[in-house]
Structure 1
Amino acid sequence: MRRTRKTALAIAVGAFCALAQAEPASQERIPLTLKSTSDQAEASGFIEGQSLSGTTRNWYARERAARGPLWKYRKSDGSRHDSHSRDNWLQGSILNYSSGFTQGTVGFAAEVAAYNAIALERGRAAIAGPNNRTLTHSDGEALDQWSKAGLANIKARISNTTLTAGRQAIDTPMLAAIGNRALPSSFQGFSLHSAEFDNLSFDLGSFDRVSPRTEQSLSKFRSEYGAAGAETDRASTAGVSYQPFRSLSTSLFAAKVDDFWNQYYFGANHVLGDSATLSLSTGLNYYKTVDEGRKKLGEIDNDTFSLSVALTHQAHTLSAAWQQVNGNEYFDYLHETNGIYLANSLMSDFNGPNEKSLQLSYVLNMAPYGVPGLKFNLYNARGWGIDGTHYRGTAYDVRGMDGETHYEWGIGTSYAVQSGALKDTSVRATYTAHRASKAQADGSLNEFRVVTTIPFNIL
């Protein structure tokens, strides 16, 4: 892997040398000043500012095990059988009503969203449930359709600061709604977002339940990789986002997941140059995780980071990302969240104990060639050095991992309609292959996925 590291370093050094001759992005420092406008001062009223909109998504995924069977299904007689395949096909629809804010010093608003999913593929052997793709009964029989209130909250706003209470979607490095299925997840609790400054904002939130992507009821939080029976009653987060320069944005967050862990995050993104000639984007993501309270997941001491660089010249973007886990357990995050802002979180998260990984990717944007909205991408990622032999806890099944390796490659295309009645409709198709050594947990499989999302507005 020394050659791989040298290659990544050479890419970065070469990029900086090339950019020395390029037109740099603005390095102007942004002064820390209060906003001259107030969102609440511009409130139009509860009814006057209301909207009714939504999306409908056709979600199809076909998976095939490349080696031994990876899934099981239950026949109507109760017998269980191994399966080398899994097919899930659903239509997920969201109808979202948002009121405007009432006028005055303190404004109030409400938001409600109805979620509905229809199972287009219902065969027990095909869907191989239960899983987090198609909602099934405990015996694996699919529900033909199901509905729930995905969002239901009230908001109070003063100036540019908004308090939201109820079921909601948020986006932070530790707690973030995940939308890679027919329907997204959401969280029950409260959050506060304050953006009183032009380039500085604060976020605060505390949640006691999650509404999973493929469930009708609320659930307690559990971890993505830890013991299945371990649950927590509350997850809280606080953070600040700051843009000191036009070209640099940073964020610092902390999260407390009761009796699981305390987690700390730092992220920075920098853009140098002009993509019309040549630009370099650099991204750093760092997480520190330590055990907390009753230590339901045992002792945790984990440092994980990713560093990515991306060169863009007009239609072409070439990227390299290095990711490293320093800890004898998985880098873990909460299930039904997207709380993993790491560059190599792909089909696999490349987050095994002590794992190192490198990803190379290429994106072609067809807009400069006269087809705006059309993109192609491909990538290859490799992980190695997975070692859980020094783990002494019981919450993570890693002690059988000794020098495990895996790799993943994918190719995809997406198109977003630019105008007309179907404007902003998107279609994305991807093919991904993952190959793993014997004890690496993700297995060897291929997946073909097609997702079509159509937005609509009623009010």
Structure 2
Amino acid sequence: MLTLPALALWSALAMASETPTDPGKPGFEGGSVSYHFRSFADVQDIEGVLRRHALTANLRVLMDSGLTPGPAGLGFNASLFVGADVGSSSTAGNMAHIRTDWTRSDQPAWAYLGEYGVRLKGDDYLLRYGVQTYSNPYLESKDNRGLPPTFRGLAGVYTPAENWRVELGSVDSVYARGMAARTPLTTTYGNTPVRRLDFVGVAYEAQDGRSGSLYAAHAQDVWTQWFASGAAGVGDPQVLQLKGNVAAYFTRSTGRALQGRIHTNAYSFSLSPTRGPYSVTLGFQHIQGDQFFDYLSESWGIALANAYGADYNAPNERSLMLSFSLDGAGVGLAGLKATLWRGQGWGADASVGAQPFRSPDAALHALYWKQGQPVQGKHREAGLYLEYAAPPSWARELRLKLIAMQHWSTQRYSEDPFYEVKFTVDKKF
């Protein structure tokens, strides 16, 4: 909920944004206020476990003070996040509003400062501190609910040369999806507390599609993780282009090893032929180790080829993913994008990694054991993604998105069978 200090900050930033700058005096230039509305609907059935649905209306008011003039510009920002439950089940969980103990809240509406902070910008660098979103192989805000999660921390970007980018950052807490208060960081699968996550990396991206990156991250007392990726393509996409992509994570436990011993390599590679508006992608992924590949909760911290509806991240698991994509602009349907996918995972075997957690009282027993046996087996999924962006002349930045998917699994695989249909309407004012 909005506190008095938060309201004071909001009011001060609003006045800074709306007050014109006198060219002869210090001040801010380029201030703005924008409004982002999202209608979010989701229906999910986890076989034998849970049925839930949600319908919420959500608004983000994004306000930016602009920057002070000069070689190093100082600026502030704040974003008011508002949500309203207009038809969710009692089992909706974080599809709607939850308390900090992760139990369902009965509040019909909620509001909080979902983003706020200060930044310093020069010609080739940007430093930000506050509550914000991130985009890197460890921290990609998991924006698949009415409002996105945001993390509190530091972020820095330096561009030493064209096409090159150096990033660093550190986060210590999160506004989780469905929650209006900050909570400590945890891992996604192990639910292990992470006091702080630090990362640094360098990335290269050329206009011809070639790219590469190398990152390192440290989740205090849990793991140290390295990430490497590369991509390149040959040919003309209007005739025939072939793109290749490789990515890999190398994870080792560190410090007090709160999530147990970890010695896991996870890698994937994919090939994507493209001809005009049509593209096909075939991806292979392998978890090489006896532990689950895990990442920070509330993030898409698994930048591998086959992480679609399921992550295909069980110990020793291999998987294949085939997808077909269409860009509607090439067939007279401007604004339409569609993807069909089909995935298959096999060979999951946690028989070694599960042994330290044999006791039902062990923190990771439920992750590694199922029906009294170590996790193992196979699973598969199929899904459809549709997106339509309305023409600018008709409606400014109006987007409709539909995701429908089905997941099947054997009895002792870690993730249960489920189906889900999700629909969002996004509008910027």
Distance in 2 (alpha carbons) for counterparts of 1:384 and 1:357:
6
State the Cα distance separating 1:389 from its structure 2 match: 0.2
Q: Which residue of 2 aligns with 1:438?
A: 411
Q: Which residue of 2 aligns with 1:201?
A: 165
| Residue 109 in structure 1 maps to residue 53 in structure 2 | no
**1:331-370 correspondence to structure 2 within 5 Å:** 331-370=293-332
State the Cα distance separating 1:344 from its structure 2 match: 0.9
Pairing partner for 2:184 from 211, 220, 226: 220
Q: Which residue of 2 aligns with 1:50?
A: 31
State the Cα distance separating 1:379 from its structure 2 match: 0.8
Q: Which segments of 5 or more consecutive residues in structure 2 lack a partner in the other structure?
A: 1-24, 358-362
Q: 1:190 to 1:92 in 2, by over 3 A?
A: same
Q: Which residue of 1 aligns with 2:213?
A: 251
Superposed CA deviations along residues 180-234 of structure 1, whole A, max 9, x for unmatched, are: 11111111111111113112111010111111121111111100011x3x31211
Pairing partner for 1:70 from 44, 49, 55: 49
Pairing partner for 1:383 from 339, 345, 358: 345
Query: Contact 2:54 / 2:89 at 8 angstroms: preserved in 1?
Result: no
Q: How big is the alpha-carbon RMSD for the aligned residues of Structure 1 and Structure 2?
A: 1.8
Query: Contact 2:252 / 2:264 at 8 angstroms: preserved in 1?
Result: yes
Pairing partner for 2:203 from 217, 232, 241: 241
Query: Contact 2:64 / 2:77 at 8 angstroms: preserved in 1?
Result: yes
Q: Which residue of 2 aligns with 1:393?
A: 356
Q: 1:54 to 1:340 in 2, by over 3 A?
A: farther
Q: Which residue of 2 aligns with 1:41?
A: none
Distance in 2 (alpha carbons) for counterparts of 1:108 and 1:336:
29
SS in 2 for 1:367: helix
Letter of the structure 2 residue corresponding to residue 354 of structure 1: N
SS in 2 for 1:393: helix
Pairing partner for 1:121 from 79, 87, 92: 87
TM-score by length of 2: 0.87
Q: Which residue of 2 aligns with 1:79?
A: none
Pairing partner for 1:179 from 126, 132, 143: 143
Q: Which residue of 2 aligns with 1:307?
A: 269
Letter of the structure 1 residue corresponding to residue 49 of structure 2: L
Distance in 1 (alpha carbons) for counterparts of 2:389 and 2:26:
33
Query: Contact 1:165 / 1:191 at 8 angstroms: preserved in 2?
Result: yes
Pairing partner for 1:93 from 40, 56, 59: 59
Distance in 1 (alpha carbons) for counterparts of 2:408 and 2:210:
37
Letter of the structure 2 residue corresponding to residue 161 of structure 1: Y
Letter of the structure 2 residue corresponding to residue 281 of structure 1: K
Distance in 1 (alpha carbons) for counterparts of 2:250 and 2:381:
26
TM-score by length of 1: 0.82
Query: Contact 1:284 / 1:305 at 8 angstroms: preserved in 2?
Result: yes
Distance in 1 (alpha carbons) for counterparts of 2:105 and 2:386:
33
Distance in 2 (alpha carbons) for counterparts of 1:371 and 1:246:
26
| Residue 61 in structure 1 maps to residue 61 in structure 2 | no
Superposed CA deviations along residues 385-404 of structure 1, whole A, max 9, x for unmatched, are: 00000113335422434541
SS in 2 for 1:215: coil
Q: 1:136 to 1:199 in 2, by over 3 A?
A: closer
Letter of the structure 1 residue corresponding to residue 36 of structure 2: T
| Residue 291 in structure 1 maps to residue 253 in structure 2 | yes
Higher relative contact order (CA 8 A, sep 6+): 1
State the Cα distance separating 1:158 from its structure 2 match: 2.6
Q: 1:141 to 1:172 in 2, by over 3 A?
A: closer
Letter of the structure 2 residue corresponding to residue 195 of structure 1: T
Query: Contact 1:114 / 1:151 at 8 angstroms: preserved in 2?
Result: yes
Q: 1:370 to 1:217 in 2, by over 3 A?
A: same
State the Cα distance separating 1:372 from its structure 2 match: 0.8
Distance in 1 (alpha carbons) for counterparts of 2:312 and 2:241:
27
How many corresponding residue pairs?
392
Q: Which residue of 2 aligns with 1:35?
A: none
Distance in 1 (alpha carbons) for counterparts of 2:207 and 2:398:
34
Superposed CA deviations along residues 366-387 of structure 1, whole A, max 9, x for unmatched, are: 2122111112221100000000
Query: Contact 1:46 / 1:100 at 8 angstroms: preserved in 2?
Result: no
State the Cα distance separating 1:244 from its structure 2 match: 6.7
State the Cα distance separating 1:287 from its structure 2 match: 0.2
SS in 1 for 2:330: helix
Letter of the structure 1 residue corresponding to residue 60 of structure 2: I
Q: 1:122 to 1:449 in 2, by over 3 A?
A: closer
Letter of the structure 1 residue corresponding to residue 322 of structure 2: L
Letter of the structure 1 residue corresponding to residue 368 of structure 2: V
Identity %: 26
| Residue 406 in structure 1 maps to residue 379 in structure 2 | yes
State the Cα distance separating 1:61 from its structure 2 match: 0.8
Q: Which segments of 5 or more consecutive residues in structure 1 lack a partner in the other structure?
A: 1-43, 72-84
